[in-house]
Chains A and B, each alone.
Chain A
Amino acid sequence: MAIAKLLIANRGEIAVRIIRAARELGIRTVQVHSAADAEMLAVKMADEAANIGPPHAAKSYLNIENILKAARDTGADAVHPGYGFLAENAGFADAVEAAGLVFVGPRGDSIRVMGDKVAARVAAEAAGVPVVPGSDGRVDDPEQAKHIAMAIGFPIMIKAAAGGGGRGIRIAHDMTEFETLMPQASAEAKAAFGDGGLYIEKVIERARHIEVQILGDGTRAIHCFERECSLQRRRQKVWEEAPSAVLPQSIREKLCASAVALAEAVNYRGAGTLEYLYDDVTHHFYFIEMNTRIQVEHPVTEMITGIDLVREMIRIAGGAPLSIRQEDVKMHGHAIEVRINAEDPAKNFQPAPGTVTALRVPGGPGTRFDTMLYQGYQVPPFYDSLLGKLIVWDETREGAIARMRRALDELEVEGLSTTKPLHQLLARDASVAKADFHTRWLEPWLEANAHRLNS
C-alpha cells in the first residue's frame, strides 16, 4: 500500500528531515506536537498538525493512545517514529499496525528480538557475526566462571544479570582479582536485585565505535558501508564520520557482509544500524547491538553514497522492494557530522535552552545543516539538547575537516550557548586530524582542554 498521509511521531530536527523526504515523495504530512512545541519548525512545515498532550514527554510524545487518536482524526495512513521516544518500542509498532496503519520501521517482533541484548547476541552468533567474547547467558557456578574467564582472557567485566544502566559492573584484571570480585558482585546483585546471577564479558580496552548502515525489505538486505562514532562524551556521540578512516578494505568487506547476514537472518525491514566495537590493533570487530530505526548520524552515509535513507525507508514501508542493488552502492569521498547541542562547553556542558535571537546558517559546497532552528525560536527545556547537525563532505578526509572548520566559523546561533566551540577545537586537533582516537579518548581530552573551552 503506497502511503498517502504520514504522521510524524517525533519532534525537532528529525521531524523536519522526515517531512522533507515525505514531501519529495508526494506524501502529505501530519506533525504531532506537545503543548510546548506548537511553534516548532516541523509544525510550521507540515501540511497539518495535532496537539498530543502536555510538555512532559510521557504525556505526549510517549503517549501511544494520543498519537493513534491523532492519526485517526487526521486520516493518516502511516506513522514514522523518527529516533528516540517510541522508535524502538515494539508495543508501539504493534499498536500502529493493529490500528490498520503502516509503521515506518521494522515489525514489532524484529524490534523485540534485536532490542533484547541477549536475544540479539544469540541471533548474531547464529548468523556467524562475531560478538564480544563472554558467557553466553548467566553463570552461577564459580568453577564454570573461572573456566570461561581463562578462555576469554583478562580484563573481564562482571555484570549483574538482573542489573542495568551500569549498576553492579566490576572489572577484573587477573584471576586473583576475578576470584575476589565474583562473590562480591554476586552478593551485591542479590541484595540490589534479588538475583545473584552474573554475566561475564571481555573488556575491549581500546575500542573504536564503528557501525554499519543497512536497509532491508523483509527479504533482501544491503549495507551502505560504515560510520565511525568514536568521539563520545558520556556515551553520547559528538562527532561522526563516514567512512571510518582506519578500516582496511578487507576488514570493511567482512564487517559489512556480517551486518547484511544478520539483517537477512532476521528478515529485517526498513533502515537499521548494527553497532560494533573495533580493535584497530588486532583488526577484530565485535557486534554489540542493533538500532532498529533511523539514526541521528544517518546524513554522513547519505553524503558518501548518495542514497536518501529516509526516503528509502518510507518507500519500503509503503510496500516497495529495495530499489537499490548492493553492487550499485558506491562510496565516494568523506563526510563528517558534528552535533550542535544547546549546551555550554565552558560550564561542563550545562543545558542552555533559550531564544534564538539571530541565526546564520553555513552553506556553500559540500555543506548541509539539518536543524530545527529559526530566528525567534524558543528552544524548550523539556527535551533533548540537539539543535542541529552540521554535515560536510569532500573528496578527502583532510578536505572535509578543512570544510568543517570553515562551515563552523560561518555558523552563528545567538541567544543561547552551543557546542560549536568544542567542534572548532576538535576540527583543529592533531589527533583528530590523524583519526588517532577511540571511545575513551574524548573525555580525558575535555579535561585537558577545559581551559581552552572556558575562554
Chain B
Amino acid sequence: MAQLLSPLPGTFYRKPAPDKPSYKNDGDKVAKGDVIGLIEVMKSFTEVRADAAGKIKFLVDNEEPVMAGQALAEIG
C-alpha cells in the first residue's frame, strides 16, 4: 500500500467539474500517471496523478481542505 501525498495545500476535488462524475472511485484500478483529482490553490487548479499502479482507496472527500504532504489516497 503506497500513500499518494498532496503536492500542495488547498482544496481537493475528486471530479473535473461539479456536474461530472469522479475521476476514480474507491476500488478502481489505476495506472501510474492517471489523474485522480485536482487541487485548487487560490483559484488555480493542478491535476493530481497516481504515482503507482493498483487499486485506489481515497482518504479525503471531494471539496475537502488538504495540507501539502497530506495523504490523499492509498494505492496498492
Chain A residues at the B interface, C-beta cutoff of 8 Å: 36, 54-56, 58-59, 342-343, 350-351, 353, 381-385
Contacts and interface: CB of A to CB of B under 8 A. Distances in A.
Contacts, number: 38
A162 B22 CA distance: 26
A53 to B, nearest CB: 12
Contacts of B41: 351, 353, 381
Interface stretch (B3-11, B24-32, B52-60): B3-11
Given A381-B10, A382-B65, A350 B43 contact: no
Given A353-B9, A381-B9, A381-B10, A58 B42 contact: no
Interface string B59-70: 000011100000
A58 B40 CA distance: 13
B65 A56 contact: yes
B65 A385 contact: no
B8 A381 contact: yes
A412 B9 CA distance: 24
A59 B11 CA distance: 12
A312 to B, nearest CB: 30
25 contacts: A36-B65, A55-B65, A56-B11, A58-B63, A59-B63, A342-B42, A343-B42, A350-B44, A351-B41, A351-B42, A351-B44, A353-B10, A353-B42, A381-B8, A381-B9, A381-B11, A382-B10, A382-B11, A382-B40, A382-B42, A382-B65, A383-B43, A384-B42, A385-B42, A385-B43
Given A381-B41, A384-B42, 10 more contacts: A55-B11, A58-B63, A342-B42, A350-B44, A381-B10, A382-B11, A382-B42, A383-B43, A384-B43, A385-B42
B63 A381 contact: no
Contacts of B44: 350-351
A353 B9 CA distance: 8
Nearest to A54: B65
Interface string B40-52: 1111100000000
Nearest to A385: B42
A58 B63 CA distance: 9
